[in-house]
Structure 1
Amino acid sequence: MPVDEPHRVTCHLDHLLQQRGMTLAALADAVGVTVVNLSVLKNNRAKAVRFSTITAICDVLQCQVGDVLSVEHEMR
């Protein structure tokens, strides 16, 4: 996949936050990142994310990386 093509990674923060009754602002405070940065991730506009951020999200939400992110398979 060339770098210029859109990525196929989908973020599931909306679903996870709803399940836990938590707001994006509360997660941002707990993780130590800005609401804006989490919003970019949540809305699938992020081009990169630090492993430390994903680890902190998983710690706070008590989940696995695969609960937060998934990859859509290409249709050939």
Structure 2
Amino acid sequence: MPAEDEVGIHCRLDELLEQRGMTLTELSRQVGVSVVNLSVLKNDRARAIRFSTLTAVCRALNCEVGDLLTVEPAADIPRRT
């Protein structure tokens, strides 16, 4: 169990897709990354991300890295299965 003061990275991909009326499948087509890999990122299960993927996702969503990834207390990041 993480300590209360630990922080983690939260991916806001779900929220950004919803705001833009875009599906994960459409984003996958635009950036050339599989739906499975984007789903791992979206569900906060990714342990790493390539800069090229990060750049492509930000371009497709017309956002900055800080709009996509945020630092939050680990306890506040929803864990999805």
Q: Which has the higher strand share?
A: 2
SS of residue paired to 1:39: helix
Shift >2 Å, 4+ stretches: none
For 2:42, the equivalent position in structure 1 comes to 42
- Residue type of the alignment partner of 1:35: V
By how many angstroms is 1:72 displaced?
1.2
Unaligned runs of 5+ in 1: 1-5
TM-score between the two structures when normalised by the length of structure 1 = 0.85
CA contact (8 A) 2:7 2:73 kept: no
Within the alignment, does 1:70 sit opposite 2:81 as a pair? no
By how many angstroms is 1:7 displaced?
6.5
By how many angstroms is 1:38 displaced?
0.1
For 1:28, the equivalent position in structure 2 comes to 28
Residues in 2 aligned to 1:37 and 1:73: alpha-carbon distance in whole angstroms? 24
Unaligned runs of 5+ in 2: 1-5, 75-81
For 1:17, the equivalent position in structure 2 comes to 17
Residues in 2 aligned to 1:48 and 1:63: alpha-carbon distance in whole angstroms? 19
TM-score between the two structures when normalised by the length of structure 2 = 0.80
Identity of aligned pairs, percent? 61
Q: Note closer, same or farther for the CA distance 1:73–1:56 as it changes in structure 2 (3 Å cut).
A: same
Residues in 2 aligned to 1:64 and 1:51: alpha-carbon distance in whole angstroms? 13
